[in-house]
């Protein structure tokens, strides 16, 4: 009797394994949801919708974007972290995905609950200034900030935001005081700069922000990178300006719940990489002042780990805490 039970258990286990393998091979068999922890209409939402369209064409299933903004991205990340690990729910993550576990004392999920799948796009942060302070370079900004008794007000979208990290890097590299002012989004920070409420910010080089620069309504001082942007050939890098420690990029990537089968993750990565590396998509990204984030899962995971360590050290050194 025991031998029959053992044989039956083995058969059932084999059936379960073969069924799982079959399900993975046939994945996806229904629509996929990408949770975007951003408000509709912003740069993050736009990038999420672009990759959703590409994945849908490659995988032959609808891929829908579900906007879940709030709490600096925590709400959206929590939804995905607690979703079934079957490849049908993904997170359109960015710097906030890495930073939130570093600056929040308590989160409803662990950082390890989300695994990197693929990079999608990236662009260096663009440092811009209010023209009325009459600076054209970071060196001139340094001189002005040290001499201005009123100080420099720096616009951000909150503690631990990409712009906040850029500001802290600028503050340390130039050795100048900055007063951080928080706004709800990039649109508000750009408006605050153009209306002289703040004198400095560092943000994604959106078409809108770059157009403000080209129109002379803001001054584009540098890109926070060691490589110039093809779209802004006359704007120097922070490395060229003599401040290589100011290095910050805005990026978007896909994450999945921990435990998602590797075969499914690899299929997602391959589909995304094929899409973003196509000539048509490269041209579309260039028009939006961004670039494809190429690489397999291991390479994207290495990037995530490296940035988590780098930004984590900064957050710890600066005692960053989000309430």
User: From first to last of its 323 residues, what are the pLDDT tens digits of the chain?
Assistant: 444 344 344 444 444 444 444 456 789 999 999 999 988 888 889 999 999 999 999 999 999 999 998 888 999 999 999 999 999 999 999 999 999 999 998 999 999 999 999 999 999 999 999 999 999 999 999 999 999 888 899 999 888 899 999 999 999 999 999 999 998 888 888 899 989 999 999 999 999 999 999 999 999 999 999 999 999 999 999 999 999 999 999 999 999 999 999 999 999 999 999 999 999 999 999 999 999 999 999 999 999 999 999 999 999 999 988 86
- CATH number of the 30-122+250-317 domain: 3.40.190.150
- Look at strands 219-223 and 126-129 and give their pairing: antiparallel
- CA–CA separation, 147 and 142 (whole Å): 9
Q: How far apart are CA 265 and CA 257, in angstroms?
A: 10
What spatial distance separates the first Cα and last Cα of the chain, rounded to whole Å? 61
Evaluate whether 30-122+250-317 and 126-223 have a shared fold: yes
pLDDT of residue 84: 98
Q: Which helix (H) or strand (E) holds 97?
A: helix 95-103
Taking the domain 126-223, which CATH number applies?
Answer: 3.40.190.10
The Cα 185–Cα 47 span in angstroms is 16
Tell me, yes or no, if the pTM score tops 0.75. yes
Helix/strand/coil for 120: strand
Q: Which of 93, 90, 107, 102 is nearest to 308 (CA)?
A: 102
The C-alpha atoms of residue 193 and residue 42 are separated, in whole angstroms, by: 18
Predicted pLDDT of residue 17: 44
What pLDDT is stored for residue 167 in this prediction?
A: 96
Looking at residue 323, what is its pLDDT? 66
Please report the pLDDT score of residue 20 as a whole number.
47
Rounded to whole angstroms, the Cα distance separating 158 from 73 reads 12
* Cis-peptide, bond into residue 114, ω within 30° of zero: no
Burial label, 166 (beta-carbon count in 10 A; 0-12, 13-18, 19+): buried
Q: Residue ranges per domain, the chain?
A: 30-122+250-317, 126-223
Task: Report the alpha-carbon distance of residue 288 to residue 278 in Å, rounded.
Answer: 16
């Amino acid at each position: 009797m025991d031998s029959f039970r053992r044989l039956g258990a083995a058969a059932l286990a084999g059936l379960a394994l073969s069924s799982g393998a079959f399900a993975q091979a046939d994945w996806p068999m229904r629509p996929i949801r990408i949770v975007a922890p951003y408000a509709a209409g912003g740069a993050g939402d736009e990038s999420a919708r672009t990759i959703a369209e590409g994945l849908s064409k490659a995988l032959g299933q609808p891929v829908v974007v579900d906007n879940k903004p709030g709490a600096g991205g925590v709400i959206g990340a929590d939804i995905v972290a607690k979703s079934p690990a079957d490849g049908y729910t993904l997170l359109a993550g960015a710097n906030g995905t890495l930073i939130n576990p570093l600056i929040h004392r308590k989160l409803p999920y662990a950082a390890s609950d989300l695994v990197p799948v693929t990079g999608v796009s990236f662009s260096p942060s663009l440092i811009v200034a209010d023209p009325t302070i009459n600076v054209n370079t970071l060196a001139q900004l340094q001189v002005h900030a040290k001499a201005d008794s009123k100080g420099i007000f720096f616009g951000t979208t909150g503690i631990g935001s990409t712009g906040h990290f850029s500001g802290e890097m600028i503050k340390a590299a130039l050795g100048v005081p900055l007063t951080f002012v928080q706004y709800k989004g990039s649109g508000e920070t750009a408006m605050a700069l153009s209306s002289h409420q703040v004198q400095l910010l560092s943000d994604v080089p959106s078409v809108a922000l770059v157009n403000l620069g080209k129109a002379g309504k803001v001054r584009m001082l540098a890109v926070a990178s060691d490589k110039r942007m093809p779209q802004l050939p006359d704007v120097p890098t922070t490395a060229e300006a003599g401040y290589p420690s100011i290095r910050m990029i805005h990026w978007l990537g896909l994450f999945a719940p921990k435990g998602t089968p590797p075969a499914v993750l690899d299929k997602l990565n391959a589909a995304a990489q094929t899409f973003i590396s196509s000539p048509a998509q490269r041209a579309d990204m260039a028009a939006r002042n961004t670039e494809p984030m190429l690489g397999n899962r291991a390479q994207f995971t290495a990037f995530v780990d490296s940035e988590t360590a780098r930004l984590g050290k900064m957050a710890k050194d600066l005692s960053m805490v989000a309430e």
